[in-house]
Amino acid sequence: MRPSDVERVTVCEAVGRYTEMIRAKAATGALAASTAEVYIRDVHTFAELAGGEGVLDDLDGADVDEVLLRFAHKPDGRRRDGGPPAGAGPRQSGSSQARFLRSLSAFFRYAAVAGWVQLNPMEAVTLRPKVRGGLRAERRALTAEQADGLVGAARGLAEAAPDPARRRDQRTELRDALIVLLLAAVGPRVSELTRADVEDFYVNGGVRYWRIFGKGGRTRDVPLPGAVARVLEVYLAEGRRALDRGREPKALLLSWRGRRLARGDVQGVIDRVLERVDPRARRGVTPHGLRHTTATHLLAAATDMDAVRRVLGHSDLSTLGRYRDELPGELEAAMRVHPLLGRDDPG
């Protein structure tokens, strides 16, 4: 589905239409009345927590994660005391959290079929229900070995000679390499990546910057690592020119038809690059997972937290906690270079 096919309805509008559909199913007996009541209550709670005036298609996995966390700490209306006091942990039971997640999954499946969202954000949600304790974050970040394999494959793809057997407008290697490198190095939201225009990339003081237009009308200027900037230059000079048919003069990333690349196509690009990675270091990953990977490895390298926040485009430092995954051996590595004791003697 191309972006032009998506109906940009607000969250409230989508919830209202979905509610009508659920009530119609209940009236015909296709859905139990008690089940319909739960679905309707949950999607209205979702609209309340997500902000009803926002456009549904603008929500990504991180936004849904935030809603799920807010729901977990929402007072339980079935109890007089509202559940545990604020700050004492989740106030909703684990079963209620899992039910709410199922309700949102059903809602977004319908939204995808109805054409209200181009990409189902539930596919990028990192919270999963557990038997006890409610929702828990699922590790999404690639390990250093896995990330190195993917980045190495992307760089190799950018340096490879074009396949003479393929038509000029089907040679997408440079574009695919650039997509993976931007996702891994900068960690943009997939919507920020596909909305990027050529003019958003500029040079200042010899450094190539990307002006990213993010959520809430906020912009951020992020410097690109040299290796990524070099691939960008080659893509603009050669790769994009091969795909350009004059239909999208501003868009950075083009499909082989010359249209702006759709959000739903980005996963396919990542999967193609993954096929070039050694199977021993290969692990499937989503665009949202690469955003987690960027945050995790920048923070593990002791990069200033506020700098990481600015790279990712978060308004609050506390949000970084959702993107910080544990890496194998990171505690041992941290203690080997303890700032108070100096680096251990390797012997």
Q: Which pLDDT band holds residue 1 (cuts at 50, 70, 90)?
A: very low
Distance CA 114, CA 121 (A): 15
- Looking at every residue in the chain, the average pLDDT score rounds to 83
Which residue among 215, 230, 272, 276 is the active-site one? Answer: 215
Which residue among 74, 175, 189, 240 is the active-site one? Answer: 189
- CA-nearest of 183, 228, 176 to 201 is 228
Q: What is the CATH number of the domain that holds 60?
A: 1.10.150.130
338 is annotated as an active-site residue: no
**Chain center to CA of 206:** 30
At residue 192, the pLDDT reads 93
Report if residue 346 sits inside a domain.
no
44 is annotated as an active-site residue: no
Mean pLDDT of 269-288: 90
Q: Are residues 117 and 262 in the same domain?
A: no
Q: Which pLDDT band holds residue 129 (cuts at 50, 70, 90)?
A: low
In the chain, DSSP finds a helix count (H) and a strand count (E) of 13, 5
Residues 6+ apart with CB under 8 A from 80: none
140 is annotated as an active-site residue: no
Buried b (16+ CB within 10 A) or exposed e, 325-344: bebeebeeeeeeeeeeeeee
**Chain center to CA of 49:** 19
Asked if residue 184 has pLDDT above 90, the reply is: yes
Asked if residue 193 has pLDDT above 50, the reply is: yes
* Secondary structure of 213-247 in HEC code, one letter for each residue: ECHHHCEEEEECCHHHHHHHHHHHHHHHHHHCCCC
215 is annotated as an active-site residue: yes
314 is annotated as an active-site residue: yes
- CA-nearest of 126, 156, 136 to 285 is 126
Q: Which pLDDT band holds residue 320 (cuts at 50, 70, 90)?
A: low
Q: Are residues 278 and 321 in the same domain?
A: yes
Reported residue count of the chain is: 347
Coil, helix or strand at residue 209: strand
Domain, as residue range, for 275: 144-327
CB atoms inside a 10 Å sphere around CB 30: 10
pLDDT tens track for 242-265: 888 888 999 999 998 899 998 889
Report if residue 337 sits inside a domain.
no
CB atoms inside a 10 Å sphere around CB 268: 9
Q: Are residues 155 and 250 in the same domain?
A: yes
At residue 214, the pLDDT reads 87
Report if residue 99 sits inside a domain.
yes
Which residue among 220, 240, 263, 291 is the active-site one? Answer: 291
Distance CA 116, CA 227 (A): 37
Cβ atoms 174, 234 nearer than 8 A: yes
Q: Which pLDDT band holds residue 318 (cuts at 50, 70, 90)?
A: low
Which residue among 39, 110, 235, 323 is the active-site one? Answer: 323
Please give the residue that has the higher pLDDT: either 342 or 315: 315
| Token pair belonging to 346 | 């390797």
Q: What is the CATH number of the domain that holds 297?
A: 1.10.443.10
pTM of the full structure: 0.65
Q: How far is CA 326 from CA 176, 292, 329, 331, in A?
A: 28, 11, 9, 9
Q: Are residues 59 and 150 in the same domain?
A: no
Query: Considering its fold, how many domains does the chain have in total?
Result: 2
Report if residue 338 sits inside a domain.
no
- CA-nearest of 57, 137, 53 to 97 is 137
Backbone angles phi, psi at 128, to 5 degrees: -130, 145
Mean pLDDT of 100-125: 92
Q: Are residues 222 and 98 in the same domain?
A: no
Report if residue 72 sits inside a domain.
yes
Residues 6+ apart with CB under 8 A from 290: 142, 180, 183, 184, 187, 270
Q: What share of the chain has pLDDT > 90, as a percent?
A: 46
209 is annotated as an active-site residue: no
Which residue among 140, 175, 288, 292 is the active-site one? Answer: 288
Q: Are residues 300 and 234 in the same domain?
A: yes
- Helix, strand, coil percent values for the chain (each to nearest 5): 55, 10, 35
* Residue where one domain finishes, among candidates 137, 153, 184: 137
pLDDT tens track for 72-106: 888 765 544 445 444 444 568 888 888 999 999 99
Distance CA 208, CA 200 (A): 10
Q: Are residues 117 and 173 in the same domain?
A: no
Mean pLDDT of 5-16: 91
